[in-house]
Structure 1
Amino acid sequence: MAAATADHKANPVKSFIAGGFGGICSVLTGYPLDTIKVRLQTMPLPAAGQPPKYKGIIDCTVKTFSTEGVRGFYRGISAPLVGVTPIYAVDFAVYAAGKRLFQTDEHVKLTYTQIFIAGVGAGICSALVTVPTDRIKVLLQTQPVTGPVMYNGMLDTAIKLYRQGGLRSLFKGTCACVLRDSPTGVYFVVYEGLQDLARRRSATGQITPTSTIFAGGTAGIAFWSLAVPFDVLKSRLQSAPEGTYTHGIRSVFRELMATEGPKALYRGVLPILIRAFPSTAAVFVGVELANDVLNA
């Protein structure tokens, strides 16, 4: 995927396939830290004089493992695994289509402004596909381990949400998802820029697996550094009982500022940033491998 120094016009169909494969690689790599992140973001405020449910990333990891074992880190993974193919496929396909609009022939070198615009469009479109699986994932990750089980797997959760509030319930948090994924333009600019630099420094002018891992991981950190506050609001909104936040993300933001202050917007940031490098590197490694096969 060499957008900034394109030798071929972007192909949305091939990008659709490659993006889906890259997304699967990402989920398998980063899901345990995503579970920790969601649990830190959604834990309730402790009662006066009581310690918080989790003191931080290490405490959350230890408690999850001690009470649920390894399986606890993968609760709800079926939702993103099923949904990840269309989500990342749409992301990379729309990104390729956006680049193609700027490419008048096979050898046009895109500017980083054009890459940014194509990336923002890709992020918004993929966010619309992400919402239902993200909503299901958050509910499965945060439901109590003890006591009666409210949701029994992905399909059961989807059916119950639909019965509770129709499609509107399944798509709860759409605005928050769009806001969170809008920085995808930065994500692609950082990736393409670092890969351009790697090509210039390479004797062969080609990217390598090492440069892909570094560029992809760094792009992930850049993206999540901007997206974390919106992700916190999204997780709070999607995990809350129906009717808790009348005005959606605005109500979540007002309550968070009034009860916990601005620092709460970065709750869970450590597992997010730790996860961002390997999981995003895995996306681009998967995409580049798939592109190699498709272009062979």
Structure 2
Amino acid sequence: MVVGGDAAKEYVAGFAAGVATVIVGHPFDTIKVKLQTHNTKTQVKEYKNAIHCTSQILRSEGVKGLYRGASSSFIGMAFESSLIFGIYSQAKQLLQGETESIKPQLQVIIPSAAFGGALISFILCPAELVKCRMQVQGRDSANSNYVRYAGPLDCALNTMKSEGVKGIFRGGFTTLLRESIGNATFFSTYEMSRHYMHLQLNSNSSARSQQSKILSDVGIGIISGGLAGMAFWTAVLPLDVAKTLIQTAPDPNSSRDPFRTLGSIYSRVGLKGCYAGLGPTLARAFPANAVAIVTWEGAAKLLGVKRD
């Protein structure tokens, strides 16, 4: 539980975690978005797999192609991470009250995380729309249905000019579903795995040096964060595929219904289409979320946040 007075510090720690996540995870996200956009149209895949997609990006655009749309991602992810960790910690404290519990309480964790996820979706949706549209355009748009933008700001302004304010929030309902379900899964996995690993470690070692304690805390953060990230994306990847297609659709009048979109994908390419980008997503999920959790816990500790 977060002790009162530490709320602002939790948001700062979450912000640091978001920046670390983008640095590690954005190239994997670019590959995921490319696969989701181009490999769900027909039975013929534009990219054979994640490795082929990566090589094509590097060949045509260089390393910077893997970080296309990263500036909007930095802004969106940093604030999203700040809010989700801060809101989650405060909501959990509010629901838990003064009750002390050794074992994580799922009846507290799940609604706290889902509530935080629902709130951040309103900030995350516009940032991800810009990021995804930047990622799919590539270098040569002469034979593409996708509009080419000079940068994230140009993308946002053109979207609002052509589609109105509601255009920048395209895919908002799908983002809300993804974040609510995903964060409930993420924090449940994180809290439970962290708890049992600490129990196991403490039962095997009654006396540990400060250095070994720091190393073990980092190790537990890496494993619990990585597993939580993989659980998040395994649970909600179909919704993420639907969100990507809704946000990058060339036709502004196309459906915004995620279930209708997934039904259309399934009818064209089967169940595998609903999990397009699974490989790079899971490859990204472990290191990116491991870094996020270690950064969050480390920053909170440096800022003097006290937890049970």
Relative to the length of structure 1, the TM-score reads 0.90
Provide Cα deviations, 1:77-99, integer angstroms capped at 9, x if missing partner.
Answer: 00011222211111112101211
- What secondary structure is seen at the aligned counterpart in 1 of 2:140? coil
Q: Secondary structure at the match of 1:138?
A: helix
Instruction: Please state if 1:173 is matched with 2:167.
Output: no
Match of 1:3 in 2: none
1:272 aligns with 2:265: no
Amino acid at match of 1:229: P
Q: What is the aligned-residue identity percentage?
A: 29
Q: CA deviation at 1:10?
A: 8.5
The 3-state SS of whatever aligns with 1:208 is: helix
CA RMSD of aligned residues (A): 2.2
Give the conservation status (yes or no) of the 8 Å contact 2:36–2:241.
yes
Alpha-carbon distance in structure 2 between the residues aligned to 1:197 and 1:45: 40
1:160 corresponds to: 158
Task: Identify if the C-alpha distance between structure 1 residues 210 and 44 changes in structure 2 by more than 3 Å, giving closer, same or farther.
Answer: closer
Q: 1:186 to 1:74 in 2, by over 3 A?
A: same
- Out of 231, 236, 246, the residue aligned to residue 227 of structure 1 is 236
Structure 1 runs of 4+ aligned residues shifted over 6 Å read none
In the TM superposition, residue 160 of structure 1 has moved relative to its aligned partner by 0.7
Do the aligned partners of 1:10 and 1:97 also contact (CA within 8 Å) in 2? no
Q: Structure 2 CA distance, aligned partners of 1:228 and 1:173?
A: 14
1:240 aligns with 2:260: no
Structure 1 unmatched ranges of 5 or more: 1-5
1:127 match: secondary structure: helix
Of the three residues 22, 28, 32, the one matched with 2:23 is 28
Structure 2 vs 1, CA of residues 45 and 188 (structure 1 numbering), >3 Å: closer, same or farther? Answer: closer
Q: Are residues 199 and 46 of structure 1, via their aligned partners in 2, closer, same or farther at CA, if it must alter by over 3 Å?
A: closer
> What SS does the aligned partner of 2:293 have?
helix
Cα 1:106–1:249 shift into 2, 3 Å: closer
TM-score if structure 2 supplies the norm length? 0.87
Structure 2 counterpart of 1:82, from 75, 82, 92: 75
Q: Deviations over 1:9-57 (max 9, x none)?
A: 5843222111111011001001111000000000056778xx5210011
Tell me if the contact between 2:57 and 2:65 (Cα under 8 Å) persists in the aligned partners.
yes
Residue 93 (structure 1) aligned with residue 102 (structure 2): no
Matches of 2:5 and 2:26, distance apart in 1: 30
1:122 CA displacement: 1.3
Residue identity in the other structure for 1:85? A
Give the alignment partner of residue 62 of structure 1, picking from 47, 55, 58.
55
CA distance in 2, matches of 1:100, 1:187: 18
- Which of 276, 301, 304 is matched with 1:292 structurally? 301
> Is this contact kept in 1: 2:11–2:83, CA < 8 A?
yes
Give the total of aligned pairs.
289
Residues 220/150 of structure 1: CA separation in 2 closer, same or farther (3 Å cut): same
1:172–1:156 Cα change, 3 Å: same
Superposition deviation, residue 147 in structure 1: 3.7
